[in-house]
Amino acid sequence: MARVSPHERWLEMVREYPDLHAFLSGPRSGDVLSGTVAAVERFGVFVRLDDGPAHPFFPGVGFVTIPDLTWHHIDDMSEVVSAGQRVTGEFLDYDTWNMEARLSLKALQPDPFQEFADAVTAGHELRGLVTKAVPFGVFVRVADGVEGFLHEDEFGAAPPREGDELHVVVADVDRERRRVNLTSGRG
């Protein structure tokens, strides 16, 4: 069986589905597209785009990966979307392999990390909830959608556990790496 290159596969799809190719070639990165959630799968969300043709294989021409749904941590996509729901997203690119419009819903939402970084500087005292314990420290929710890290060297006699509320001090906010380092403020 002969292998087909990605380019040859794409050319075949373009020949077979010219209306779909024409539709997907129109939007530019940053354009805003709307549609209806056609299916929520374990790997992402298919969106039936307004004025878009049907996709020959998938429930919708638009596709949103899990990280592009929301800025917030979610355990299940149903916390954000459900089949039949109207959504609006930013066009990221034309996925030529799957002939899909890749979309981001979170791109149209305020970024909670940047809002936090604008409002909080080193030395700022906060209260937060321990969300996860790891062998070398704990993650603490310091704002809606924002977690900071408290290293184990900052613990007192007993290490905090998930669900504990802590008093912490912001050591630094790294906008580029999207990290908040915390200290206990004890020293």
Least confident among 11-15, 18-22, 119-123, 135-139: 11-15
- Inter-residue contact 137 to 152 (CB < 8 Å): yes
Predicted confidence at residue 187, as pLDDT, reads 55
- Inter-residue contact 38 to 24 (CB < 8 Å): no
Predicted confidence at residue 9, as pLDDT, reads 84
Local structure of 3: helix, strand or coil: coil
Q: Work out the average pLDDT over 11-35.
A: 94
Q: Over 70: is that where the pLDDT of 173 sits?
A: yes
Predicted confidence at residue 50, as pLDDT, reads 96
Measured between alpha carbons, how far is residue 50 from residues 16, 36, 60, 61, 103 in Å? 22, 8, 10, 10, 13
Among 25, 106, 27, residue whose Cα is nearest residue 65: 106
Q: Work out the average pLDDT over 16-34.
A: 95
- Inter-residue contact 34 to 47 (CB < 8 Å): no
Q: Which domains does the chain have, with CATH numbers?
A: 6-108 (2.40.50.140), 112-183 (2.40.50.140)
| Mean pLDDT, rounded, of the chain | 93
Predicted confidence at residue 21, as pLDDT, reads 93
- Determine phi and psi for 111, rounding to 5 degrees: -85, 110
Percent of the chain whose pLDDT exceeds 90: 83
Least confident among 88-92, 111-115, 139-143, 158-162: 158-162
Secondary structure of the chain: what % helix, strand, coil (to 5)?
Answer: 20, 40, 40
- Inter-residue contact 116 to 146 (CB < 8 Å): yes
Contacts of 57 (CB under 8 A, 6+ apart): none
pLDDT in tens, 7-22: 888 888 889 999 999 9
With the CA atoms of 45, 51, 56 and 62 taken in that order, what torsion angle do they form, in degrees rounded to the nearest 10? -20
